[in-house]
Structure 1
Amino acid sequence: MNKTRFHDYGTQAALLQKKRMLVIKIISILFPFMLLGGLEAGLRLFHYGHDLRLFITAPDNNDYYILNPDASRKYFSNQEIATTGNRELFKKVKDTNTLRIFVLGESTTIGYPYFHNGSFHRWLQYRLMHNCPDKRLEIINLSLTGVNSYTVEGFAKELLPYQPDAVLIYTGHNEYYGCLGTGSTDKIAGSPFLIHLILQLREYRLTQLMANTLQQLFALKPSNPEGEGKTRMELMVAEQEIPFGSATYEKGMAQFTANMDNTLRLLNEAQVPVFFSNVVSTEKDLFPFISITPDSTKFPGFTPLYKKGEQLLAEGDSTAAQNAFLAADNIYPVHAGCNYYLGTLLFQKGDTTNAKAYFDKARDLDGLRFRAPSRLNLIILELCSKYKNAHLVDANAAFEANSKGHIIGNDLILEHVHPDLKGYAILSDAFYKAMKQQGLIKVSAAEEMTFAALQQNMPLTIVDSLSGAYKIAKLKRSKPFNTTSITSDTTLISTPEEQLAYEVAFRHTSWAAAMEQLYQGYNQQGNLSKAGTIAEAFVQEHPTEAAWYEIAANYNGKENNTAAATFYFKQAFALSPSFKSARMLFVLYLQQDKTTEALPYLDYAIANNEQHLNLAPVKTLLMQVLQLQRAAAKDPGNVDLMNEIAERYFKMGNKPGAELYVEKVLQTSPGNKAALALQSQLKKV
């Protein structure tokens, strides 16, 4: 009995000891994680580091989200060159009649060097706003300069919970020198798995603390004077020579393929339509940045022939120069410069088909990979074919169709990859057509704003175009465009607009401040047309603010642009219903003889009559006009009915409406006494 009890106590003690040891082991294992978790919680509690979520609540309006200005920090190892994007609002609670479109990409996608209303998504926004006036448009551009497919993929993952109706993508030029590019100074060595792991770890404040500590330690070292004054483009280039087909070249293609495949797969699974554009770059007007020189021992005859071709070309003997370059190309067919010369000479002779082949090859062989090789566009085509919800936007074909000899050059491209304003308009048109073809946009031909009308009416100013030109002029004074030591600014400023554009280009003032100054100046000069253009430009910049729509409407009204005034007042009313806009709308609709459209706004004005106007007689007369119009529709030749409509319009003070019906009567019955009498009265008003 005692032995049994002793045995039981011994067994229980041993089991208890084992449990204690197990608990100690578990605590020992979990302690580092608990410590790290506690540190992470503490850092967040004291707001250390950056919140890297894609969207944050808009500072000025809790009902809206905007792109988080710190979202890019996740992708840039060097925080000093991290870029920020647009601040475009979209509602936290999506309205039922909303078309919400997110835009992903890089510097071309955000509209460099114009930004704001020069970017392709603003051209698209303006057109859709007019073609789909009953839709609430939310076009949110999430693009950043200096990024590539890693950022596109990362942003795509985060935007899915925000109910996109479509995603537009334009990317590909930065796979080598954008952040995390295979030839960039801001790259992470290792596999794509490791890169994605590090990107996830950067979201933690503890990781940010460690990175900041290391960065501060490195900052203690003497600064490198070679980096001072360089553009972001120069600072991000690590490998200047990336030969065609090299390991780094192939890594870039593989990186783009994998990241964009993941992006399209995610969006396809979520059944979100994706419009993925191929990329464009200049071909015939940019000599390759770097031509990989052949080994003189393996290809001894190339260099003498190549130099001979250059000399003959300088002397004006194009035929002999072409023969020399052809001979050189037969020896070493992968020299970018030689292919470019052959393309140029053939283009000059009118042989655009063969010229294009040489130009394409010259771009692909360019060792400094600021332009995406043609293979990337083939990858985009293959990826779009792979997924049901992915649709190719053939921007390259659109640019070629608008280029001399169907070869893209500086008539649409500013330097190497960024379009001019016409180019951005063409890019927007390519997306518009693709979206329309897939049924995302439904508009009748009669109501549709044509591409020609878009180009004519887009609210851009001379400051927009000039500031872009100044930025490009500065860019071309730096490497790799300029290989000389001459970098002086020779820009001549002679007008207030040029001065403002210069200040915007070099960040001495903001675009908004420049537009405001320009706006005030045009008003003082009495130039209502140009002041109205700026008002419409601010509508594009602030599409959620009803006040700018009303201002734009008033300018169009002063310029007798009745249709445009009606459009802007209607948009203002939809955003923020008011007696003022309702009153203007029923007046404008009546002036256009659109009685059915006028009625609901008159009813609203009566119900919200803050100015205590006597609108009841107007409503009575309007109902009589509606009844008379229904009768006239059954008896279109009845001039008595038309005279009565004209009389009712005259009584309510609608002179344009009355004149319209008097004219109709006199066309049918030139001597009609009632119409002539009313016409006489109208002339006195």
Structure 2
Amino acid sequence: MKKKILFRIIAASLPLILILLVEVVLRLFGYGEGYQLFNRVIGENGVEYLVVNPNLSKKYFKDTDFRADSQLDLFLRQKTDSTFRVFVQGASTVVGYPFYRGASFPRLLKHRLSRTFPEKNVEVVNTAITAVNSYTLWDVTDKIIDQKPDLVIIYAGHNEYYGALGVGSSASVGSHPTLVRSYLKLKNLRFFQLLENTVRSLTKSDMPNKKSVTETTLMEVMAKEQQIPIHSEAFTAGITQFEGNLKRILDKYQRHGIPVILSTLVANEKDVKPFISNDLDKKNFVESIEKNKPEVHELAQKNADAAYILGQYYLERNPDSAKKYLHLAKELDLLRFRAPEKINEVIMQQAHEHKLPLVDMKKIFESKVPNGILGDELVAEHVHPNVEGYFVMADAFYEKVKELNLLENWEHYVPYDEAFDDIPVTQIDSLKGKLAVEILKQSWPYDLSMSGTKPVGYNYVTQNPTFEERTAINLHNHQEQWQYLMTQAYHKYNEDGDYKNALKVAQTLIFEFPEQFKVYEMAGEMCQKLGDDAYAEYYFKKSGYLKSMKASQE
């Protein structure tokens, strides 16, 4: 009897033992991806740092040739007593699209906190990846906890439908949240990666019409279900998925006593019409508005285009009605690249249930624009802020950190106007971002006729282009490396006596190479030439500290 039981146990264990052996062999031979959140690097000063793994996005984008954008922020492998460590979670807005670099709100926040607390090592680590959603945030939460954060900031929710693994996404593995979370756990196994890659190679020929980012926009590549009506099954699934994942994320942070700041989302409602709407006879509808027919308002309650046209009609006549209908148009938009208001309600509800501080970013943005209707004033296209908008976001989080007293002694508090004048964004990066937006607005989904293609031979044409315009075009066309062009720009500005722009270049280089003392010296020298000795001393002290670290490693 005992032998039979033992035999059954061994027989049942054999498949697991075989899988374990295959897993070990695959790892020994370097097959597959490790999917660790952070990679270890040695800085120029000889100190060990960690940085977000640029290949992590491969875990979430199944059957696409897309490599997602992320921001590579170095932080110390061994956290010091003087370190204030912040992690920021989200997607492309957190990455800083379309300007990137110093325009992202995490870097703007780091810049201002570093000035406020010059004796501290302020680390604001951007873990965001373009086109991901709450599944990715949940998946990396444990790895963030391991790094002992003093604060976590979460700005996310626009990608619940078309982000990786979303219910309407081409990179989906199913709509049941438990299934998707299990899939993400299994993806860490090389054996599972082998099985998935084998299945993919066998079924690749079955997807001849699959779109590619080389042919069209990322938005079209990711949007499989292009019509998701409000309150539909898919609509509700997206809300449920976000709520469940966010609750799990916050529960984990709460168990470890880690402070979290949540934020509501912003979207352009005034200057971006619905991407996809039910059919509407627009000419007849406009005539009905002008004749004040009662059915106009009824139709606007269920048709996105009708709501948008009515909202635009009311802009100069009745701002309150304009705000109501422009918001409704966004809610009724069938192509859900802008989060429905239900997502903001979930964020506020979870903040309340977990007793967490909330930055009502939507309300803050509305307070800064005419009639409280969000448009191009602060939002570059449908959801991503412009440079001023990103600054407003960073300012809101800066003030919230102060309000929560997460750091003591705000003696060197940097006021709004002073911080705004010191935005570390170059004209070149700003122009490159504006160029990206111009091209996007000529592409799908802004122009649905551009499905499956990109604008051909598009060039940014201007008479007598400035140095900044020429350089931005070179960057956009990948003709030169960013680092090389920034070094060129720094020397040109210095030679021309344009010390303020030279300082912005140096500040941007500091974000990319925070362990290199030379970039701090470059910033300090420009501050001296601008007559700001106190600011120069700040940078020279940072440079001296890094020099001493390097000397101690030699």
1:308 aligns with 2:308: no
Aligned to 1:660: none
Q: Which of the numbers 280, 287, 297 marks the counterpart of 1:329?
A: 297
Displacement, 1:491?
Answer: 1.4
Aligned partner of 2:501: which letter?
K
Q: Which of the numbers 175, 179, 183 marks the counterpart of 2:164?
A: 179
Structure 1 consecutive aligned stretches of length 4 or more whose deviation exceeds 6 Å: none
Aligned partner of 1:422: which letter?
E
Residue pair 2:50, 2:76 contacting (<8 A) in 1 also = yes
Aligned partner of 2:157: which letter?
G
Matches within 5 A, 1:115-194: 115-194=100-179
Aligned partner of 1:124: which letter?
L
In 1, the alpha carbon distance for the partners of 2:505 and 2:374 equals 32
Aligned partner of 1:132: which letter?
F
Deviations 1:329-373 (A, max 9, x none): 325621111111221122111x22222111111111111101011
Residue pair 1:329, 1:335 contacting (<8 A) in 2 also = no
Displacement, 1:461?
Answer: 1.5
Aligned to 1:270: 256
Aligned to 2:272: 286
Q: Which of the numbers 11, 25, 46 marks the counterpart of 1:28?
A: 11
Aligned partner of 1:454: which letter?
A
Aligned to 2:424: 459
1:371 aligns with 2:338: yes
Displacement, 1:524?
Answer: 4.3
Displacement, 1:490?
Answer: 4.2
Aligned to 1:669: none
Higher helix fraction (1 or 2): 1
Change (3 A) 1:82 1:433: same
In 2, the alpha carbon distance for the partners of 1:331 and 1:95 equals 61
Displacement, 1:222?
Answer: 7.7
In 2, the alpha carbon distance for the partners of 1:471 and 1:530 equals 22
Aligned to 1:673: none
In 2, the alpha carbon distance for the partners of 1:536 and 1:65 equals 21
Aligned partner of 2:483: which letter?
A
Number of paired residues? 543
Residue pair 2:88, 2:152 contacting (<8 A) in 1 also = yes
Residue pair 2:270, 2:326 contacting (<8 A) in 1 also = yes
Residue pair 1:244, 1:367 contacting (<8 A) in 2 also = yes
Aligned to 2:190: 205
Deviations 1:174-197 (A, max 9, x none): 000101111111111242111111
Residue pair 2:34, 2:188 contacting (<8 A) in 1 also = yes
In 1, the alpha carbon distance for the partners of 2:245 and 2:164 equals 14
Residue pair 1:244, 1:364 contacting (<8 A) in 2 also = yes
Aligned to 2:483: 512
Displacement, 1:328?
Answer: 2.8
Aligned to 1:393: 359
Displacement, 1:396?
Answer: 0.7
Residue pair 2:52, 2:127 contacting (<8 A) in 1 also = yes
1:241 aligns with 2:227: yes
Q: Which of the numbers 486, 492, 510 marks the counterpart of 1:521?
A: 492
1:437 aligns with 2:403: yes
Residue pair 1:309, 1:325 contacting (<8 A) in 2 also = no
In 2, the alpha carbon distance for the partners of 1:522 and 1:542 equals 20
Deviations 1:163-219 (A, max 9, x none): 000001110100001011111111112421111111111100111112222222334
| SS of alignment partner, residue 405 of structure 2 | coil
In 1, the alpha carbon distance for the partners of 2:194 and 2:357 equals 42
Change (3 A) 1:331 1:223: closer
Change (3 A) 1:466 1:207: same
Q: Which of the numbers 507, 517, 526 marks the counterpart of 1:546?
A: 517
The structure number with the bigger radius of gyration is 1
1:402 aligns with 2:385: no
Aligned to 1:53: 36
Displacement, 1:74?
Answer: 2.3
Aligned partner of 2:248: which letter?
N
Change (3 A) 1:241 1:324: farther
Identity of aligned residues (%): 33
Residue pair 1:288, 1:366 contacting (<8 A) in 2 also = yes
Q: TM-score, normalised by structure 1?
A: 0.75
In 2, the alpha carbon distance for the partners of 1:381 and 1:579 equals 46
Matches within 5 A, 1:552-567: 552-567=523-538
In 2, the alpha carbon distance for the partners of 1:230 and 1:136 equals 42
Displacement, 1:553?
Answer: 1.2
| SS of alignment partner, residue 146 of structure 2 | helix
In 1, the alpha carbon distance for the partners of 2:323 and 2:73 equals 40
Residue pair 1:117, 1:541 contacting (<8 A) in 2 also = no
In 2, the alpha carbon distance for the partners of 1:381 and 1:577 equals 46
Change (3 A) 1:330 1:538: same
Aligned to 1:618: none
| SS of alignment partner, residue 315 of structure 2 | helix
1:420 aligns with 2:366: no
Deviations 1:436-463 (A, max 9, x none): 111114454x632111111111222110
Matches within 5 A, 1:349-360: 349=317, 351-360=318-327
Q: Which has the higher contact order (CA 8 A, sep 6+)?
A: 2
Aligned partner of 1:174: which letter?
N
Residue pair 1:131, 1:443 contacting (<8 A) in 2 also = no
